[in-house]
Amino acid sequence: MANTDVSRYMQNLLVSEPLRETVLKTAMLSLDLPADSKGLDVGCGLGLGTRLLSAIVGPEGHVTGLDINQLFIEKARSLADHTPHGQRITFQVGDVKQLPWDDDSFDWASSVDFIGYGSLDTTDLLSQLVRVVKPGGKVFIMAWSSQMLLPGYPFLEAMLNASPSGIAPFKNHMNPAQHFLRGRSWFSQAGLSQARAQTFVGSINAPLSSDLRDAMIDLLHMRWNDSRSEVSAEVREEYQRLCTVESPDFILNLPEYYAFFTYTMIHARVP
Distances (CA, A) of 85 to 44, 47, 264: 17, 13, 26
Nearest-5° Cα angle at 27, 22 to 28: 100
Mean pLDDT calculated for residue range 44-67: 97
Confidence of residue 226 (pLDDT cuts 50, 70, 90): confident
How many whole angstroms separate alpha carbon 170 and alpha carbon 161?
A: 11
The pLDDT of residue 4: 72
Share of the chain above pLDDT 90, in %: 86
- Contact in structure between 144 and 263 (CB atoms under 8 Å): yes
Query: Residue 69: its pLDDT value, please?
Result: 95
Q: What is the DSSP string of 94-152?
A: --GGG-SS-TT-EEEEEEES-BTBTTS-HHHHHHHHHHHEEEEEEEEEEEEEEEE-STT
Which CATH architecture fits 3-269?
Answer: 3-Layer(aba) Sandwich (3.40)
Model confidence pLDDT, tens digit, residues 91-130: 999 999 999 999 999 999 999 999 998 777 999 999 999 9
Task: Give the pLDDT confidence of 56-97 residue by residue, as tens digits.
Answer: 999 999 999 999 999 999 999 999 999 999 999 999 999 999
Over 70: is that where the pLDDT of 3 sits? no
Instruction: Please check the confidence at residue 228 and state whether its pLDDT lies above 80.
Output: no
Q: What is the mean pLDDT of residues 186-209?
A: 97
Question: Do 26 and 2 meet the contact criterion of CB atoms below 8 Å apart?
Answer: no
152-184 pLDDT, tens digit each:
999 999 999 998 888 888 888 889 999 999 999
pLDDT at 1 > cutoff 70: no
pTM for the complete prediction?
0.94
Give the mean pLDDT of the chain.
Answer: 95
DSSP state of 206: S
Please tell me the predicted confidence (pLDDT) of residue 2.
62
Ranking 142-156, 216-230, 249-263 by mean pLDDT, the lowest is 216-230
Burial of 127 from C-beta contacts in 10 A (0-12 / 13-18 / 19+)? middle
